[in-house]
Chain A
């Protein structure tokens, strides 16, 4: 299982990097030293922010938005993707529209949504929804279309109804493709939420980042980036893990 998360040797380069950072900052050999706190100071601030609740509060807000937006986006994308993949008529009807909307970057919708929805809790959720919907939809269609037609015919001659064929053959075989979409978007959702919060919403990790910038609190900025990095990583890994759980037996 080469893909499974195993600390092992992967820790070593990270440890070396952190040590170099710490030593570099402490010995004042990094230019612009003022703007570059040592690793230990960042960790200290990390701890403080957790204890005083600022980090947790903002983090939970971001997490909530990502979870709700991402879940809705994925569900919607899956549903529409399955319909499009399975029913050629629906595909013919929706494919042109989706092809036009898909290339628009999720953040491009932000100004429009700010005016349509207003600046409230729905805004980041809507952005995440858009950011997840299209890729998941696309990958689902591709996954379903990629299923060997012979397998479908085999299921048909064995007496399976169309719906049964969909649930017992087509969807399980489309899982790898669907999960590719889910996995990529799980990380992407975090990248997008931060941008949205930086620009438009006064709470969440992104907002915390912007406030830290205006106060020139490099340590807080780095703390936020560390949280982000961990969340992207964790989300992608969760889906990688789920995908392997679902398909390792037969792939």
Chain B
């Protein structure tokens, strides 16, 4: 599978984008709506005008028309052909490329099996559920054995459970096929879960490219930090495994229980939205529960951001504005907080 390289790609939205995606890598393009994510995919697929250069394995493909670029593209709205049944949708690419019928049949069976949609072979798109359509569209994009796969928010229109399930499927499929993949999303959790690396894009400019941990623990500028939810990052001195896949971490006078991932850590991070706030002492064992004093309140509906002094740390937390009002939040007031266990992220940062 080839590597993809963008050199100085510029058009009506993209601003001089340089990016290299390695052979077999899954790169997530993360950014808010209108940041230029889809446009960048269209540039690679040859569907959008641009200046600059796109290279596959070092050779430019700028003059190659879209239908000869050998790229599998899963569109955000899937774009299944409504007049063709599932089989015909999947084999469309093979047929227009005039592959031998025997090969087409074999490939079709293979893909139906791979996606576990054999029973849908003769259904029309209108009769499929969202998740099924997703699978058909993916099978169609994969059918001509593309060397590059572009996925444009493929899971954004699905319910949470289906989307989570398909995300896992997609990840394992991608590593099985070893296909160089760019995955576009505005969902930070999706990006962290899927990406070998994440490229954060904002207003047509690449802000930061790095592994999920690099992005999360070392956001290079405000846009990145803001977009990944301005996480609280706490350095920690001591940590020890306590069994059940958990560990105990001491940081600035707090003892925090966090998921143990097999190594010691020296940084933990938690997003403001993953801190639970209450005025009364919450029930339950006294773990990850702390008292904090409000030092700052920033109500910008629908969310109110609160700065809290907890131990030696200042933590940023978020509550829905309405709930914040009901709780009578004010500066100087003491509140209880819980750090949600499963959302605490941990890191060994060798650089510091």
B81 cross-chain contacts in A, Cβ below 8 A: 151, 154-155, 169, 173
B92 cross-chain contacts in A, Cβ below 8 A: 155, 158, 160, 168
Are A155 and B96 in contact, with the CB atoms below 8 A?
yes
Within 8 A of B (CB), among A62-102: none
Q: Counting CB contacts under 8 A, is B216 at the interface?
A: no
B71 cross-chain contacts in A, Cβ below 8 A: 157
Please give the distance in Å from A174's CB to the nearest CB on chain B.
10
Nearest A residue to B140 via CB reads A158
Q: How extensive is the interface on chain A, given as a class?
A: 20 to 34
A249-B127 Cα distance, complex, nearest whole Å: 11
B67 cross-chain contacts in A, Cβ below 8 A: 156-161
Are A250 and B72 in contact, with the CB atoms below 8 A?
no
Q: How many A-B residue pairs have CB under 8 A?
A: 72
A212-B71 Cα distance, complex, nearest whole Å: 71
Cβ contact of A148, chosen from B79, B84, B93, B144, cutoff 8 A: B79
Given known contacts A247-B83, A250-B82, A250-B83, A154 and B68 CB-to-CB distance under 8 angstroms = no
Are B83 and A153 in contact, with the CB atoms below 8 A?
no
Nearest A residue to B124 via CB reads A250
A154 cross-chain contacts in B, Cβ below 8 A: 73, 75, 79, 81
Q: Counting CB contacts under 8 A, is B333 at the interface?
A: no
Are B77 and A150 in contact, with the CB atoms below 8 A?
yes
Are B75 and A150 in contact, with the CB atoms below 8 A?
yes
Q: Counting CB contacts under 8 A, is A202 at the interface?
A: no
Most buried by A among B47, B72, B125, B143: B47
Q: Counting CB contacts under 8 A, is B126 at the interface?
A: yes
Given known contacts A157-B66, A159-B68, A164 and B79 CB-to-CB distance under 8 angstroms = no
Within 8 A of A (CB), among B64-102: 66-73, 75, 77, 79, 81-85, 92-93, 96-97
Cβ contact of A150, chosen from B70, B79, B84, cutoff 8 A: B79
30 contacts between A and B (CB under 8 A): A148-B79, A150-B79, A153-B66, A153-B75, A154-B81, A155-B81, A156-B66, A157-B66, A157-B69, A157-B72, A157-B141, A158-B67, A158-B92, A158-B96, A158-B140, A158-B143, A159-B68, A159-B96, A159-B97, A159-B144, A160-B92, A160-B93, A164-B96, A169-B81, A172-B83, A247-B83, A249-B85, A250-B85, A250-B126, A251-B126
Q: A151-B81, A250-B84 are in contact. List 20 more A-B contacts (CB 8 A).
A: A150-B75, A153-B79, A154-B73, A154-B79, A157-B69, A157-B141, A158-B96, A158-B143, A158-B144, A159-B70, A159-B93, A160-B67, A168-B92, A168-B96, A172-B83, A173-B83, A249-B83, A249-B85, A250-B82, A250-B126
Give B contacts to A, CB under 8 Å: 45, 47, 66-73, 75, 77, 79, 81-85, 92-93, 96-97, 124-126, 140-141, 143-144
